[in-house]
């Protein structure tokens, strides 16, 4: 896809990390609590969990230093 900020072609890649709990998102400056992560409130549906890691398919623009991925947040 083209970067919506500068219009250049973005690099397609995979975000990954520790897979022990749901990957969550919460509005504001406070992160999700342990219970919220466990029961999946604010779960980032784009994250694919395995036993040891999570991955998210994401596009990256090295010029703007931004990443974009499609996801939903479960409530």
Is residue 9 within the footprint of Zn ion (CB under 5 A)?
A: no
CB of 4 to Zn ion, least distance (A): 8
The region of 2-10, 14-22, 24-32, 33-41 touching Zn ion under the rule CB under 5 A is 2-10
Is residue 2 within the footprint of Zn ion (CB under 5 A)?
A: no
Within 10 angstroms of residue 62's Cβ, the number of other Cβ atoms is 10
Q: How far apart are CA 6 and CA 71, in angstroms?
A: 22
Is residue 3 within the footprint of Zn ion (CB under 5 A)?
A: yes
- Whole-number CA gyration radius for the chain: 14
For 37-55, b/e burial (b = at least 16 CB within 10 A) is beebbbbbebbeeeeeebb
Q: Using CB under 5 A, which of 63, 68, 70, 74 touches Zn ion?
A: 63
Closer Cβ to Zn ion, 49 or 59, answer by number: 59
């Amino acid at each position: 896809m083209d970067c919506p900020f500068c219009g250049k072609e973005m690099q397609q890649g995979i975000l990954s990390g520790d897979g022990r709990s749901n990957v969550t998102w919460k509005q504001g400056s406070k992160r999700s609590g342990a219970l919220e992560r466990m029961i999946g409130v604010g779960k980032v549906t784009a994250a694919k969990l395995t036993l040891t890691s999570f991955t998210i398919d994401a596009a990256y623009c090295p010029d703007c230093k931004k990443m974009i991925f499609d996801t939903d947040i479960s409530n």
